[in-house]
Structure 1
Amino acid sequence: MSDPEMGGVDGEDVHAVWESMLAAEADKTLNQSEIDQLLQFEEGEGRQPRSVIDQIVNSSFVNYDRLPMLDVIFDRLVRMMSSSFRNLTSGNVEVTGVVPAAVRFGDFLSSIPLPSLITVVKAEEWDSTLLLTVDSELIYSVVDILLGGRRSEPAPIDGRPYTVIERALAERIIKMVLRDLGTAFAPLTDVHFTAERIETNPQFATVTRSNNAAIAVTFNAQLDGRGGSISLLVPYAALEPVRNVLLQQFMGEKFGRDSMWENHLKSELRRTNVDLSAVLAQTTVDLADILAWKPGTQLTLDVRADARATLNCGHVAMFQGEMGQRNGRVAIRIESDLGTQDEVIHGLLQR
């Protein structure tokens, strides 16, 4: 029989149609190339093909610890670089810094605009290396200004190799920035940055693995209408010796200690009046005997007449001395210090 709604197709034909549709759905399993195209992981020319799992693992997202002191250090570096460039060019200079970002080392190298001078910097005290990059725009701008081209248009970037004069002036800028960078770190730690070598090819400036996390910050300089940028890349492994210092919330933090308050407290404690009591002897008496005391009762102390007395501050014994008379009054000459001053000060602070 045929169903009018099916257009004259009998039951066997309907069953065959459903089987063919289910088979077509089963054949829609994506292969590796289709998954790569779906996630926009296309293979470029000259690159080795990588699987989707490798692409996800090596993605550009980097999870990193927050280091508040780095923002303070980079702010100091911006002010110092502005002053240094102003002294170098004798003109109006404005240096601004971009918010530090966490990147992978390989991604930073691939994003360097060419041609640029890439300096491999050695941090002596940290026993580690970092990168400092100066782009061509800044190099050409400084060369034009220092050689008298203050009002000319910025030179076009043609990709040619740097001349001897341009490279010498660029090295002067690099040394100046490294000196300012060491000064910016000075309030936290003593470190000296020196330039090991200068490269123009990013492949020769590799100082760590491409997947390792690093902190990248860019400083933009405006020199009399011209501009350029300096980029600094610091691997996280390089900051490990000073990581505890960089985790501070503000400069000079000492985990709750305040030297000014300590000095003020010491000066006030020295002017504080305390009561001293001279103890000749001590004995133990039952409470029943104390209740039976009457006027004229004698209390025998197991101590000799020439025994030394003890000076107590509260319940803390501080000094021992010999009793005597001076100007008609009972006096004690201190002969030994029991060394309990710290215990007395601790008791005063707890009140």
Structure 2
Amino acid sequence: MMMENVDVDQRKQLPNYLLDAAGISIERMPMLNVIFDRMAASCTDSLQPIAGTPCYFSVNGITNDRVGDIIKDYEANAVAAVLYAEQWDSRIIIMLDRDFVFTMVEAMFGSDGAEPPLDVERTFSNIEIRLVQALFERFAKALQSAFAGTSNVTFRVERVETAMASLAIGRSGNMSICANIMLQALYRGGQMFLIIPHSALNPLRQKLAHVVVSDGRAADPRWREQMESEVQRTEVTLSAVLDEKMISLDDVVKFHVGQVIELEATPRTLARLESNNQVLFWCQIGQLDGYYAMQVADPVDQKREFVDDILSR
């Protein structure tokens, strides 16, 4: 009798209402497995140039859980980042357990794994927090890339927390998808937990219900050759930086014509060759046919640059 009072448009929307009430079924969203596998592979590739040892990421499982149940066992034993997805108007959580953090610190700072794993409960140091902040930025980009093709979404690190009680992205009883991604490095490892509320994924149900993967066999070899040719002919802007000096804004406003600003560089100082704010090589400055010239001396150690950037924060 009640259905007779429901108009036609409302009847069409009833299946969606029922799905919303039932939540996300992992079995009916096979594309989630593909997305999380992509993220794990992207994390592995992203850390390869900067880690002193191979770091492998793999999906260990995907579950449906309440947010509060997921994080309650990791109070004072993990560090987490809250990511804001503007296109979804929703927030998600990436949480790293203590073993993950300690393993990454050793991998990034050149350990060979000979020392036994650190087994002590203490607060995370400032260097460890800086390191995971940099890692969260990379993981956010990896997740964004994994969702490409399914959802045009960007993830921004909003804040980093060590107190799990501060991870408020909704009610603690709200259901979420939790992907457990394992790290393996230096004969040890750790766990990453990616927590996405059902409310963020509900609008994507239909896209997540079908697996969409690219087929490399369908690539046109002529198109690939043309793409390679165009990329090789692309012009890029190079900048040579001999030295930098930090000065106050008060000193800047006092600049006058003819003033000399002293630098600590000498004719033997190596200059940084950059493109798009990315350091590429260390170069020696010279002259050739009446022009300034740069001779490549050494490639840039991406790992060292990454660590120096963390320590300078």
TM-score, with structure 2 as normaliser: 0.57
For residue 245 of structure 1, report the CA deviation from its aligned partner: 1.5
Q: Distance in 1 between matches of 2:162 and 2:50?
A: 24
For residue 154 of structure 1, report the CA deviation from its aligned partner: 4.1
Contact 2:52 2:111 in 1 (8 A): no
**1:118–1:151 distance in 2 versus 1, CA, 3 Å:** closer
Do residues 203 (structure 1) and 165 (structure 2) align? yes
Residue 74 of structure 1 aligns to a residue in which SS? helix
Instruction: Give the greater-gyration-radius structure (CA).
Output: 1
Alpha-carbon displacement from aligned partner over 1:54-102 (angstroms, at most 9, x marks no partner): xxxxxxxx86432121111111112111112222314222222122111
Do residues 225 (structure 1) and 187 (structure 2) align? yes
158, 182, 193: which is aligned to 2:120? 158
Between 211-220 and 103-112, report the one with greater CA deviation: 103-112
Q: Match for residue 144 of structure 2?
A: 182
Q: Distance in 1 between matches of 2:73 and 2:175?
A: 15
Contact 2:82 2:158 in 1 (8 A): yes
Do residues 122 (structure 1) and 102 (structure 2) align? no
Q: Distance in 1 between matches of 2:98 and 2:132?
A: 10
Q: Distance in 2 between matches of 1:151 and 1:111?
A: 27
Q: Distance in 2 between matches of 1:103 and 1:145?
A: 31
Contact 2:53 2:107 in 1 (8 A): no
The alignment yields a C-alpha RMSD, in angstroms, of 2.1
Give the counterpart letter for 2:172 in structure 1. S
Do residues 142 (structure 1) and 104 (structure 2) align? yes
Structure with bigger RCO (C-alpha 8 Å, 6+ apart)? 2
Q: Match for residue 235 of structure 1?
A: 197
Q: Distance in 2 between matches of 1:160 and 1:221?
A: 21
Count residues with an aligned counterpart: 192
Residue 195 of structure 1 aligns to a residue in which SS? strand
Contact 1:136 1:157 in 2 (8 A): no
Q: Distance in 1 between matches of 2:198 and 2:148?
A: 19
Q: Distance in 1 between matches of 2:203 and 2:36?
A: 18
Contact 1:113 1:135 in 2 (8 A): no
- List gaps (5 residues or longer) in structure 2: 1-21, 215-313
For residue 249 of structure 1, report the CA deviation from its aligned partner: 3.8
Contact 2:179 2:195 in 1 (8 A): yes
Q: Distance in 2 between matches of 1:151 and 1:72?
A: 32
Alpha-carbon displacement from aligned partner over 1:16-63 (angstroms, at most 9, x marks no partner): xxxxxxxxxxxxxxxxxxxxxxxxxxxxxxxxxxxxxxxxxxxxxx86
Q: Distance in 2 between matches of 1:157 and 1:199?
A: 21
28, 43, 59: which is aligned to 1:81? 43
59, 65, 71: which is aligned to 1:109? 71
Q: Distance in 2 between matches of 1:249 and 1:148?
A: 39
**1:103–1:151 distance in 2 versus 1, CA, 3 Å:** closer
Give the counterpart letter for 1:170 in structure 2. V
Q: Distance in 2 between matches of 1:187 and 1:123?
A: 16
- List gaps (5 residues or longer) in structure 1: 1-61, 253-351
TM-score, with structure 1 as normaliser: 0.51
Q: Distance in 1 between matches of 2:141 and 2:127?
A: 21
Alpha-carbon displacement from aligned partner over 1:235-276 (angstroms, at most 9, x marks no partner): 100113322221224348xxxxxxxxxxxxxxxxxxxxxxxx
Give the counterpart letter for 2:203 in structure 1. P
Give the counterpart letter for 2:148 in structure 1. A
